[in-house]
Amino acid sequence: MNTLRGIFSTTALIITVIVLLINSCQRSVPGELQVALADVKQAHAPDKRVAVFNITLSRDGNRVVVSGEVDRREYHAALFEGLKGAAGDLELVDQVTTLPPDSLGDESFGIVSVSVAPMRAAPEVSAEMIDQAMLGTVVRILKKENWYYYVQNWDGYLGWLSPSFFEPIDSAGAEEWETAARVVVTGNYGVVRAAANSGSTILSDLVPGAVLKKVGESRGWVSVELPDGRTGFVSGALVMDEEHLDDLTAEPDELLAQARTFLGIPYLWGGSSAKAFDCSGFTQSVFRLNNIVLPRDASQQAQVGDTVSLANYYAALQAGDLLFFGPTGQRITHVAIYLGDLRFIHSSGNVHVNSLDSTDVLYNEYRHKTLRTARRILPD
């Protein structure tokens, strides 16, 4: 009897294992589909800092459920075009959301309404600050969670923004704001006042890169409109017509002069304003005020421009080149602007100058040892 029980138990176990294996095979997603998914992501949205492409595949019998979210219709189209070729006889079930969802309504943009708005890595006030959005910047709103909004900054960078810091608008409102006559703040610090005199009420503080709608100008003051509709006045010495900035051709002397105006400003992780900079926020701001757009992070900036040789004791370097540092050439963690004469300016602790020359009082051995590459951004 015990022998029979053992035989039946063994048989039942074998059957159970076979059933589990069959179910497992039915639930597993073919490797060809996983490869196709990876290929589409690499081709269209390889950097999660500037693109949303969060897709998962799950097997349900003869169906493969494609779920997740993307932030561009073209990503959605490319995804299913790529998967179809690898699906074979399997049915693809589309459960992908293209952001923004319909639940957001028409207001899928916002205008930053404070001088500097923190963008965070997660939808909560205690989350790491990864970037900043400045007054007058139009951000694209992608979704809402825990009261926060997931937005895309002017440079494509993604992060979570509190609704306290922006005015929601639709696409028509965004276009109207961006095509209006505007001024850009170029002075290190300033304010918008309620009247055209230095003793009137302050409506907002200002940092370089902030944008205001221009209403008029008289006697050294520019009349402006804030994103929330309030009007005020700013000193003409602090701003430049946006169309003039758009016409600027960056020159090394002007770029380095701009960089030096930020000397002493403290370091802050995620900082990209003159209130506090991280290393790449500093370089991005300096170049932006000279009409050159750089991506947000050091590792991203290391992919633009032309490579400059570091051979022959840095003989090929020119003022205005970007220097990149890190543990390895594949892991860039810091960036600086080359000043000439082996000196460079960067944000580390604060904005200051160091040198690659071991005989210079400003020599920084650590940066010298971790210098990995240089890129030329300025036009020849």
Q: What is the CATH number of the domain that holds 333?
A: 3.90.1720.10
Assess if residue 304 is contained within a domain: yes
User: What is the count of structural domains for the chain?
Assistant: 4
Q: Are 202 and 225 in the same domain?
A: yes
Alpha-helical segments (H) within 130-227: 171-179
Per-residue pLDDT tens digits for 63-92: 999 999 999 999 999 999 999 999 999 999
pLDDT > 60? residue 207: yes
Using the 8-state DSSP alphabet, how is residue 249 labeled? -
Assess if residue 153 is contained within a domain: yes
Contacts with 346 (C-beta within 8 Å, 6 or more apart), sequence order = 279, 282, 283, 323, 334, 335, 336, 337, 352, 354, 367
Q: Are 301 and 326 in the same domain?
A: yes
pLDDT given for residue 24 in this prediction: 41
Q: What is the CATH number of the domain that holds 189?
A: 2.30.30.40
What interhelical angle do 252-260 and 279-288 show, nearest 10?
130
Q: Which H or E run includes 235?
A: strand 231-235
Higher pLDDT, 226 or 27: 226
Question: What are the DSSP calls for 353-371, one per residue?
Answer: EEES-TTSTTB-HHHHHHE
Give the tokens for residue 350: 């604060």
pLDDT given for residue 27 in this prediction: 62
Contacts with 92 (C-beta within 8 Å, 6 or more apart), sequence order = 63, 64, 66, 80, 83, 84
Is 40 in a helix, a strand, or coil?
helix
Q: Are 132 and 145 in the same domain?
A: yes
Per-residue pLDDT tens digits for 2-53: 554 554 454 444 434 333 333 444 469 999 999 999 999 999 999 999 999 9
Q: Are 263 and 367 in the same domain?
A: yes
Q: Are 184 and 111 in the same domain?
A: no
Q: Are 276 and 314 in the same domain?
A: yes
Q: Are 338 and 230 in the same domain?
A: no
Q: Are 91 and 107 in the same domain?
A: no
pLDDT given for residue 19 in this prediction: 34
Q: Are 173 and 276 in the same domain?
A: no
Assess if residue 291 is contained within a domain: yes
The share of the chain scoring above pLDDT 90, in percent, equals 91
Q: What are phi and psi of 48, to 5 degrees?
A: -70, -10
Distances (CA, A) of 233 to 74, 133, 134, 213: 43, 22, 18, 11
pTM check: above 0.75 = yes
Per-residue pLDDT tens digits for 169-205: 999 999 999 999 999 999 999 999 999 999 999 999 9
Chain mean pLDDT for the chain: 93
pLDDT given for residue 379 in this prediction: 87
Residues of the domain holding 128: 103-177
Assess if residue 235 is contained within a domain: yes
Per-residue pLDDT tens digits for 250-293: 999 999 999 999 999 999 999 999 999 999 999 999 999 999 99
Q: Are 261 and 356 in the same domain?
A: yes
Q: What is the CATH number of the domain that holds 27?
A: 3.30.70
Assess if residue 11 is contained within a domain: no
Q: Which H or E run includes 7?
A: helix 2-27
